[in-house]
Chains A and B, each alone.
Chain A
């Protein structure tokens, strides 16, 4: 803490410290009000009735609480400035979190608000350096054979209720995640090729050892996705088989303990989730001040995108991530007047695709999943290449994304710098598309504008997409118009979201489908192995094969196997280059476009360093501060 702002008040109940620091929260509220009051006589004046006890000021009692014995001091680096304490940040979220239990959080509405604000991990994948950094673990070492990992925990860290954090918490959290009766996706990251999980042992309070049967390239990444839970609070619920009811959204906040920079203060369903500073947080800024800077982080439930935009423009929201494409022009135009800025983070990590289905399987009642005539077309790479040549990707970007994106031809977004490589392209070329279709014997024999196979089967298929995603429906509409130009008729099959997901993942009854791959963090190809492996569930065109159906799929399997067991980066990159080349030249999936990622942020938020990785703007929430 700097200068005269530092004046701890004995006795615990802080009153006014420095004049500036003292009045800042009030000023913020007043400032917001002044703008609101300008045109509004009806607006109540809360200041008149504000309760006598002033808003929390700095320095305040939390800072008298003990710091960890071995705090993490953020190294000074470019772009990182020393902030000031106080203030708050308001963010929108479309729906309520479903649980406050970090081990059970499985959807965005939950993970977005909790991670990494309230809970944290042993190691952290840093979006700037793009590698693992120490978090609750200060170090890690693996044995020469890569089968034993020893993690050293940070000493003297406390949960937000003051109880110590130690190896028991780590062992407990992993024990729960590895328990087959607790369905979760994290355990999969730890499984080796035969499905075995590592053995976790507490060496002493400060060390945990993992014993693996095979080396795992992504072991640290897996460790980095486990948000730890407090054993002392959850173990008895777990033993009693009530884990799924423990730490639910109505649990009184004082029972919820945090390891991240903030803890839960209040949750009002459907309205707001208020996070306040975790007084035991164990990080310091480069100047040695306690972190986080912010007093509070407020999540406000705003289910409608339009309402979110309007609230942001009115100054009621500070950070607005994932801005829909149609709002960008408006935001950009008004950023000077609105006191905010729209930051272009570059190509999003999401890769949008059009996929065909040539799964030879049958439905439960014995009908083929895909009409055999059409299946034969879909299975031919020339057909898929022709469709790719038929797509006017530039036109789609200009129309649907209003120019905010670029055509995409490969599996990886250009933002995935470590792994994205150039791949064979099949760009917009209706003439070439026509040639390829002619080669396949698909010509318009009856002069109705639609090609056919000469045996009465018009070249026609349905693109499945989901109704809630307007962008995707618009893309489907554009593709329909594009392919009509090469004599291919497309029907749109717009399903409700549940139906779409069920068709995609469970029933596999679709002909063509629009979807997107989001990037895992870290964006390593092995984390996408379920797409590449012929036995994978996400091998969309024919998932769960017992034997690879084709040579190129067999080669993909081999490459994934080598990628998983090779440790050296350059070698892995070479392997992956071959993989993505096969993937693209086969047009296993036809990639379509890649939109730009934007974050809109109010001016005056210090240390904001948004990246394309989720969460984009508040991954370093402990360092964010409100400038004067």
Chain B
């Protein structure tokens, strides 16, 4: 169970498929195409990834631009309207008037700011490299556009959310790769080599499994990376998350490798004189793909949630960077929740991502299953 913490030791991850090479690629693709859930999930994930990639460009503002006079401005959906255009009226937002700065009450002003595409706005560096100043959409300087509202510092929530998507997905994906790679490496070694190495590695796995996830996470987070640049911190976060979650993978993969080791094609290859390393890499590990590939997607949500848990304790991603967990931390004040409910918007993204990962993961698992089509 351990619902709040180690979602990553979730049933989906612990479930072992039958060992085998998996069905041919074309069949997989056919099956996947027929699975509408998986397709939806895949699409959403791809969109989120694209958003993550182009966050600076898609976002109307930088993630740390503060408009302290406009803190906790509600989403500007009501201010949306039309302005006179040259040919057709175009979408516009009203200007903002501050009614009560203490109570954070705002009203729509008389002026209209048309929402433009490819608008010239705050300069930024795409991926930290290319200097740009065009944004996908926005309003001219002088107007403000808070599609999802603003936070305590008057920062645009949508812009922060888009940047957070990059951080959260990035960390989670990196953690997924790391944990599966660790699982493959250690589980593969244990299963293939057997003997004392197997014994040692499996006891190590049990050791990690035996420590409650969040305490391990806390202790690891505390002992690594007290002094880090923001980007290095993300790497360390991913590493720490992965170190907590690799053990179940290693266990399953060891089981799979154990079964694969004595398969005919492996024996044949061994007779042909392949060394253990190439045997493992070429003949055996591909056989675990029906477990590994779906889990690339299935185990992702756990990392996102664990990052959120670390952020709740203030030990996750640090300001002024944003992540879904860190943004949701703001919504964890009763007062903010009551008065500024738009701060829950990151929860929507979180939900989308988790559902998409699960749908895609389950679809992949079904599609890679040799034993026939389910459902």
Contacts and interface: CB of A to CB of B under 8 A. Distances in A.
B338 A403 contact: no
Contacts of A480: 64, 320
A478 B334 contact: no
A306 B334 contact: yes
B313 interface: yes
A83 to B, nearest CB: 33
B97 interface: no
Contacts, number: 80
B66 A468 contact: no
A310 B335 CA distance: 10
B319 A496 contact: no
A481 B153 contact: yes
Interface stretch (B83-91, B221-229, B356-364): B221-229
A309 B336 CA distance: 13
Interface string B308-325: 000001110011100000
A593 to B, nearest CB: 14
A327 B152 CA distance: 14
Contact of A306 (B68, B229, B320, B333): B333
Contact of B314 (A306, A330, A492, A494): A494
A492 B335 CA distance: 26
Nearest to A395: B68
A499 B103 contact: no
A478 B227 contact: no
B332 interface: yes
Q: Is the interface of A mostly helix, strand, loop or mixed?
A: helix
A330 B71 CA distance: 17
A344 B333 CA distance: 21
Contact-residue size bin, chain B (C-beta under 8 Å from the other chain): 20 to 34
Contacts of A395: 68
Nearest to B65: A481
Contact of A403 (B102, B153, B336, B339): B102
A399 B314 contact: no
B64 A326 contact: no
A567 interface: no
A496 B226 contact: yes
Nearest to A307: B334
B101 interface: yes
Interface string A322-342: 000011011000000000000
A607 B229 CA distance: 53
Contact of B315 (A309, A467, A470, A477): A467
A310 B334 CA distance: 8
Contacts of B319: 473-474, 476-477, 492, 494
Contact of A329 (B71, B313, B332, B335): B335
Contacts of A481: 64, 66, 153, 320
Given A329-B335, A330-B334, A495-B226, A399 B68 contact: yes
A470 B226 CA distance: 18
A150 interface: no
A29 to B, nearest CB: 27
Contacts of B221: 496
Contacts of A470: 314
Interface string A123-151: 00000000000000000000000000000
Interface string A485-527: 0000001111110110000000000000000000000000000
Nearest to A309: B334
Contact of B229 (A310, A329, A491): A491
B314 A327 contact: no
A498 B230 CA distance: 20
Interface in B165-219: none
A310 B221 CA distance: 31
A268 interface: no
A330 B339 contact: yes
Interface string B337-361: 0110000000000000000000000
A32 interface: no
A398 interface: yes
Contacts of A398: 68, 71, 101
A72 interface: no
Given A403-B101, A478-B66, A473 B314 contact: yes
Given A476-B319, A478-B66, A495-B226, A326 B336 contact: yes
A402 interface: yes
Contacts of A493: 227
A44 B216 CA distance: 40
A329 B100 CA distance: 13
Contact of B338 (A330, A491, A499): A330
Interface in A160-176: none
Nearest to B72: A402
A493 B226 CA distance: 8
B356 to A, nearest CB: 30
A309 B297 CA distance: 40
A481 B64 CA distance: 8
A56 to B, nearest CB: 35
A480 B65 CA distance: 11
A498 B222 CA distance: 9
B173 to A, nearest CB: 24
Nearest to A484: B64
Interface string A252-263: 000000000000
A327 B333 contact: yes
Contacts of A305: 333
A473 B330 CA distance: 12
Contact of B103 (A329, A473, A491): A329
Nearest to A473: B319
Contacts of A330: 334-335, 338-339
Interface centre among A468, A476, A492, A494 (most CB of B within 10 A): A494
A399 B334 contact: no
A473 B336 CA distance: 17
Interface string A456-486: 0000000000011010011011101100000
A467 B313 contact: yes
A463 to B, nearest CB: 11
A402 B151 CA distance: 12
Nearest to A333: B103
A481 B152 CA distance: 14
Contact of A467 (B229, B314, B334): B314
A481 B102 CA distance: 21
Contacts of A492: 318-320
Given A395-B68, A473-B314, A327 B102 contact: no
A403 B102 CA distance: 7
Contacts of A494: 314, 318-319
Contacts of A399: 66, 68, 71, 152-154
A316 B250 CA distance: 50
Contact of A326 (B227, B315, B318, B333): B333
Contacts of B335: 309, 326-327, 329-330
Nearest to B334: A306
B47 to A, nearest CB: 30
A228 B97 CA distance: 60
Contacts of B103: 329
A476 B318 CA distance: 11
Nearest to A482: B66
Contacts of B66: 399, 478, 481
Which 5 pairs, one residue from A and one from B, show the smallest C-beta to C-beta distance?
A467-B314, A330-B335, A306-B334, A477-B319, A494-B318
Given A403-B101, A496-B315, 9 more contacts: A306-B333, A329-B335, A467-B314, A473-B319, A474-B319, A478-B66, A492-B320, A494-B319, A496-B314
13 contacts: A305-B333, A327-B335, A398-B71, A400-B152, A468-B313, A477-B64, A477-B153, A477-B319, A478-B68, A481-B153, A492-B318, A494-B319, A496-B221
Interface of B: 64, 66, 68, 71, 101-103, 152-154, 221-222, 226-227, 229-230, 313-315, 318-320, 332-336, 338-339
